[in-house]
Amino acid sequence: MSRPQPTIEDIIQEALQNDPNADVETLRAAFAFADEAHAGQKRASGEPYINHCLFTAMYLAEMRLPVNMIVAGLLHDVPEDTAKTSEEIEAKFGKDVATMIAGITKLGRIKYRGIERYVENLRKMFLAMAEDIRVIIIKFADRLHNLETLESLPPKKAYRVALESLEIYAPIANRLGMGEMKGRLEDASFKYVYPKEYEWTLSLAQSTREGKREYLTDVIEKTDQALAEAGVKHIEVHGRSKHLYSLYRKLLRQDRDIARIYDLIAVRVIAPTVADCYAALGVIHGVWTPLKGRIKDYIATPKPNGYSSLHTTVFCEEGEIVEFQIRTQELHNRAEYGIAAHWQYDEHKGKEDHVTRKAPVHMDWISQLSDLHHEASDTGQYIKMLEEMKIDLFKDRIFVFTPKGDVIELPEDSTPVDFAYQIHSDIGNKCTAAKVNNKMEQLNVMLKSGDVVEIVTDKSRKGPNPDWLNFVKTRYARSKIRQHAQASIKGWIKGLIPGSGRG
């Protein structure tokens, strides 16, 4: 797992690859500032402290995030651990960077000690998310490197950090659709939380993969050829290995029988458009016979966290079973980076737009969470309520965006009407149409995480359509539509009865 120590030049190269206009001077200045601030400090491993800051920044650059977030990554431990202050950071690197770092510092103050701390940490994470999701993303990068260097900590402490990552960080990453980050956080923690299970899964995976390597190369080649012959455009075909911890979880569900895991290694096809994805699926099914009931169209019906791909499992050469995952580059990025993709550089959009974009989150459950804290009569009760809520929170919620980049949180299967009411009841009452990802959609279409939703309103509209009650998901939208319907029926009755209008 260990990789060479990145330098500031490596980070700059990575940033330039993502955005040719990246502000290299600011990156160098941030490195110089952090390097001086941490001078003489060492990590538990004995390495210079700055190495950790470089790794954190590199992970952010690899997620194709903008320079201001990489800068915050370089400086994230400065106010907490050095003589330099938040004010100095603000003077040199601006308010946005200073605010992000303040958020990271606040989160870092909580140490994981037993259930009460655990709950407290959970609460802090949610609150930080409410303020600025970028803080959580930087915290993930920071935590990932800490996990990768746990071997130099005393076992008890290492266990605590790993357990917290597995139970709090990884589920939040998953919730935010950050598949790659979730997988890496889990795999890095797995070893410390369940060492025996880790060893078992690792050796099982390694031997199985080893045996399949050549076979898979053949399948990839054949797929590539078949697609080319059929004239189906594709960007690439490659193999992907399942993350270890998710393999372990799946093994537990399959009686620990690795022969029943069909996606230990999958073949992934990246195609230019969604139409090409379906065409590729057709070609693959023409070459190999699909297993019944294993064709999954997550493009038509994405998973609740926004994951979209076509999956199919086929009887391949010599009767071996192989899973294929087919998606566009955009869907691929979304699957890997989730909500972080929102800040990624996009050459088609304006530069300013992505650098300054900030996503304040309007998540009802965050305020519910602090209410809960006041309501609970004692800590025990609070913890119990929170545990129940945690289960609730991590399931069945989606995050969608306004055209300005604000995040709106909704229950799964919500529609543009729910979204409109979430923004303002007036917008709900007067909405007539919706654009989802720049495409006109019906008002009853199901939204998914990551969608950008724009509501078209008609000022002359009298009020909501009672038929909307058939598809809205949020209680708020439902009650507003009902209120309106009742008011108009009353008005209508009043109009029928002479004189009643004056009463």
Q: Which residues are catalytic?
A: 80-81
Closest distance between Mn ion and the C-beta of residue 146, in Å?
6
Query: Considering beta carbons, is residue 96 or 142 the nearer one to Mn ion?
Result: 142
Closest distance between Mn ion and the C-beta of residue 130, in Å?
22
Of 305, 391, 392, 364, nearest in space to 340 by CA: 305
Closest distance between Mn ion and the C-beta of residue 150, in Å?
13
Query: Considering beta carbons, is residue 49 or 419 the nearer one to Mn ion?
Result: 49
- How do beta strands 289-290 and 265-271 pair? unpaired
DSSP string, 119-136: HHHHHHHHHHHHH-HHHH
Closest distance between Mn ion and the C-beta of residue 77, in Å?
5
Closest distance between Mn ion and the C-beta of residue 45, in Å?
14
Give the alpha-carbon dihedral of 110, 111, 112, 113, to 10 degrees.
Answer: -110
* Structural tokens at position 323: 């899973």
- Residue that has been written with the tokens 């096809």 in this structure: 269
| Alpha-helical runs (H) found in 308-398 | 329-337, 351-356, 364-375, 379-394
Between the CA of residue 303 and those of 10, 64, 154, 280, 411, what are the distances in Å?
Answer: 36, 24, 39, 21, 13
Of 273, 168, 180, 282, nearest in space to 223 by CA: 282
Q: Rounded to the nearest 5°, which phi and psi values hold at 364?
A: -55, -40
Task: Bin 69: left if φ > 0, else alpha if -120 < ψ < 50, else beta.
Answer: alpha
Query: Considering beta carbons, is residue 138 or 310 the nearer one to Mn ion?
Result: 138
Query: Considering beta carbons, is residue 146 or 474 the nearer one to Mn ion?
Result: 146
DSSP code for 452: B
DSSP string, 217-229: HHHHHHHHHHHHH
Query: Considering beta carbons, is residue 76 or 480 the nearer one to Mn ion?
Result: 76
Closest distance between Mn ion and the C-beta of residue 65, in Å?
17
Identify the bridge partners of residue 323 per DSSP, sorted by sequence position: 266, 313
Query: Considering beta carbons, is residue 108 or 463 the nearer one to Mn ion?
Result: 108
- Which residues have CB under 8 Å from 30's CB, separation 6+? 70, 71, 74, 75, 93
Query: Considering beta carbons, is residue 82 or 488 the nearer one to Mn ion?
Result: 82
Closest distance between Mn ion and the C-beta of residue 143, in Å?
8
Residue closest to Mn ion (Cβ): 142
For Mn ion, the binding residues (CB under 5 A) are 77, 142
